[in-house]
Chains A and B, each alone.
Chain A
Amino acid sequence: MNSKILKYSVLLLLVAISVGGIYYLNLPSRHKAIIKTRINHTFGLVDNTWNITNKDQTLSLITPTLVVDQIYKSMEGPKVMRSFQIDSKTDDLVWITSFETKAISTNEVDALSNDYICHTNIDFYDGEHYSRWNLNERIGQHYPRLTSMSNGIEKYNFPDGYGFPVFGNENLFLSTQTLNHNIKSDPFSVKHQINLGYKPHSKTMKPLQSKTVFIMLPYNTDNPFQGPTEANPNMCLPVETGNHSYSNDEGESLSGHWVVFPGKKRYSYDITHQLQLKDSTTLHHIATHLHPYAETLTLKNKTKDTVIFTSIAENYTDKTGLKRVSSFSSAEGVMLYPDHAYELILEVNNTSGSDQDMMASMFLFLYDKEMHEQLKAYKVN
C-alpha cells in the first residue's frame, strides 16, 4: 500500500515538474526573469536585502542582487521594486531636487557599466500626496510617476529653485530593471544604486508637477503582429499586447512599445490629450526615455509650429545601447498653453539589420501653480 502511494506520488511529482517545465520554457524572457529573480531572492541564493542610507540630504537605495544570465532587451530583465520614504521618522516637508541611478558591483562599491540599466521608475501615491494638500480632484487624473531614468539618461537635477515637495514619511515607490543588450557570456550579478537628492523646506522653492507624454501607435487587434499595411503605414507591431496597450476614444488599440524594422523611420503622435493642461504654465525640465536606435525625440508646439526641445540620442557604434540622451533644464522655463496642440516626433535609424523594440516618452516637469498656492500658506511646525 505504502509503495503504491510512493509510486503515485513520484509519478505525480514528475508530471507536475514536466508540465511546469514546459510552461516555463514557453514563457517570454521577461516572465522567466521574474520567476528566476523570485526564486533567487526567496531562497536567498543571492543577496536579497536592500541597503538604504540617508546621508547629506541624499537618500541612497541599493537593490538586492540581480542576476543577468542572458541577453535582456528593454523591459525584459530581472527587476525589483519596493516602497520607501525619504525619512519615515519625520513628517518634515522636503523637496526632491535630483535623481541618479547607476549599476554597481555586488560589493556595493565598484561602478559597473550603466548598460545594465533598463529603467528606474519612481512613483508617488497620488492619494496620499494630493489628499494631504486638499487637492483631491487630482487623484487618479494621471499615472503618478514622479520620474523615470533610463539607459543614456541616468542622472539629472531640477533647475535651481525647483523641486517636488514630499513629507519625510510620505510613500514613494521604486521599480528598477536590468538590461543586457550585448554580453552573452556566463551569468553575472549587478546591483542598482538609486540616489535621490533633497533639500529642506524653503519658502523660496517652487513646485514642479510631472506629466508623462509618450508616442502611441495604432495596431490591428485581430492581427497584432502583422503589418503595417499600405492603408495604415504608421501602424505598429506591438512587442506584446498585454502591457503598454491603450484604447483611444474611437476604440482603436494603440501600443506604446512597438517593433521597429531595419532602416530609417519617422513617427509622430499628438500628445495634447496626455498633457491635460488646465491653465498656461511653464515647462522647466524634460527627461527623455528612448530605446537603442532612436536618434531624436522632438517636442513640438503644433499650433505655433515651433520646436520646444529636441532630445538627441547618441548610440554606441560598437555595440547596442544608448551612450547619452540629452535633457532639457531651464529655470526660466518655456510657456505651454491649454489651447495649443503639442506633438512628439521620433526619428529612428535601426542599423542592426534585425527588428528592434522601441518606446519614446518624455517626462515633462511643469511649474505647479495650484500646489504653490497651498505651499505658500504652509506653516512649519
Chain B
Amino acid sequence: MKQLQFILLAIVLMGCQSNVEELPILSYKINSEGEKETYSIKYSNFKDQDGLHVSAETIQNKIIVANFFFTRCPSICPPMRTELIKVAEEFITNDAVLLISHTIDPKNDTIEVLKNYSEATAIPNHKWLFVTSSEENTKHLAAQFMTNFKPNEDGTDFYHSSYIALLDHNQNIRGFYNSLIPEEVTRLKKDIKTLLTSIN
C-alpha cells in the first residue's frame, strides 16, 4: 500500500515538475558581448507603504506578481488595479503569493499616498506591497522587469505598460500578461498555481 502511495506521489510530483517547466525563464538579455545572460530580479533601496525596506528577505521564496503604476493615473491603472485585486483575493490565504506594485511617480506618490491607495484596495499590506524609490532606481528595476516608463509630452500622464510580470521563487521572470485582457488574467492565475506547485 505504501509503495502504491509512493508511486502515486511520484507521478503527481513528476506531473507538477513538467508543468513548471512549461513556463520558460524569460529574464534573459543579450549582453554587450552578444551572449545570452540570464538574471534574477534584485531590489535595492525600495520602501513599501509602511515605510519598510524591500529586501531580499521580503521576496525570498515568494511567487511575485509585479506591475508599474502611479496613483494619479487616469488611464490604464484603474482597470489594472481591479484585476490585481481579483488576483490578490484569489490567493489571499496563500502566503507564498505576493503582489508588488511599483510607482513610477515617486515625487507625488509618497509613502503616505501609497498607504492610502493600499487601504482603498482592502487587501492586507503583507499581501500587496506598494513600493517607491528614486526615479533612477525605479527605471533600473523597470529594465530588469523588461519594461520602461516615460512622461507624456503634455506632462499629464506617463507611458507605462499594462503588462504584469510573474516571478518564481528564485526571482526569475516566468511570464508576462496583459492585465487589460481577461484571458490573460486567467492565464496569470493558472500560471501562479503552476508555480506554487514548485514550492509547496
B90 within 8 A of A: no
- Residues from chain B with a CB closer than 8 A to the CB of A379 are 33-35
- Name the interface residues of A324-381: CB closer than 8 Å to any CB of B: 374, 377-379, 381
- Residues from chain B with a CB closer than 8 A to the CB of A131 are 29, 143, 146-148
B57 within 8 A of A: no
Smallest Cβ-Cβ distance to A126: which chain B residue: B161
A274 within 8 A of B: no
Cβ–Cβ contact A377 & B34, under 8 A: yes
Binds B, one of A81-89, A113-121, A290-298: A81-89
A240 within 8 A of B: no
Distance from B136 Cβ to chain A, minimum over Cβ atoms (Å): 14
- Name the interface residues of A36-92: CB closer than 8 Å to any CB of B: 81-83, 85, 88-89, 91
- Residues from chain B with a CB closer than 8 A to the CB of A134 are 29-30
Cβ–Cβ contact A83 & B22, under 8 A: no
A316 within 8 A of B: no
Interface string of A160-195 (1 = CB under 8 A from B): 000000000111010000000000000000000000
B43 within 8 A of A: no
B11 within 8 A of A: no
- Residues from chain A with a CB closer than 8 A to the CB of B30 are 132-134, 374, 377-378
Interface residue total, chain B, C-beta cutoff 8 A: 31
Q: Tally of A-B residue pairs with Cβ under 8 A?
A: 72
Once bound together, how far apart are the Cα atoms of A125 and B184, in whole Å?
A: 13
- Residues from chain A with a CB closer than 8 A to the CB of B34 are 377-379
Once bound together, how far apart are the Cα atoms of A291 and B110, in whole Å?
A: 50
Cβ–Cβ contact A83 & B184, under 8 A: yes
Cβ–Cβ contact A91 & B36, under 8 A: yes
- Residues from chain B with a CB closer than 8 A to the CB of A125 are 163, 176, 178
Which among B24, B143, B160, B161 is the interface contact of A169 at CB below 8 angstroms? B24
Distance from B71 Cβ to chain A, minimum over Cβ atoms (Å): 20
Q: A134-B29, A139-B148, A139-B161 in contact; A81/B36 too (CB < 8 A)?
A: no
Smallest Cβ-Cβ distance to A381: which chain B residue: B36
Of B145, B147, B161, B163, the most chain A CB neighbours within 10 A belong to B147
Smallest Cβ-Cβ distance to A170: which chain B residue: B26
Once bound together, how far apart are the Cα atoms of A137 and B159, in whole Å?
A: 12
Smallest Cβ-Cβ distance to A378: which chain B residue: B34
Interface string of B1-44 (1 = CB under 8 A from A): 00000000000000000000011101011101111100000000
- Residues from chain A with a CB closer than 8 A to the CB of B176 are 125, 127-128, 171
Once bound together, how far apart are the Cα atoms of A173 and B176, in whole Å?
A: 11
B181 within 8 A of A: yes
Cβ–Cβ contact A139 & B147, under 8 A: yes
Interface string of B171-183 (1 = CB under 8 A from A): 0000111100101
B86 within 8 A of A: no
A303 within 8 A of B: no
Once bound together, how far apart are the Cα atoms of A134 and B29, in whole Å?
A: 8
Once bound together, how far apart are the Cα atoms of A170 and B28, in whole Å?
A: 11
Which among A89, A132, A140, A173 is the interface contact of B148 at CB below 8 angstroms? A140
Cβ–Cβ contact B183 & A82, under 8 A: yes
Smallest Cβ-Cβ distance to B145: which chain A residue: A127
Distance from A259 Cβ to chain B, minimum over Cβ atoms (Å): 27
Cβ–Cβ contact B161 & A127, under 8 A: yes
CB within 8 Å of B: which residues of A?
81-83, 85, 88-89, 91, 125, 127-128, 131-134, 136-137, 139-140, 169-171, 173, 374, 377-379, 381
Known A131-B148, A133-B30; further 7 A-B contacts with Cβ < 8 A: A91-B36, A127-B148, A136-B148, A140-B149, A140-B150, A171-B175, A377-B34
CB within 8 Å of A: which residues of B?
22-24, 26, 28-30, 32-36, 143, 145-150, 159-161, 163, 175-178, 181, 183-184, 187
**What would be 18 A-B contacts, judged by CB atoms less than 8 Å apart?**
A88-B22, A88-B24, A125-B178, A127-B145, A127-B161, A128-B146, A131-B29, A133-B30, A136-B148, A139-B161, A140-B148, A140-B150, A374-B30, A377-B33, A379-B33, A379-B34, A379-B35, A381-B35
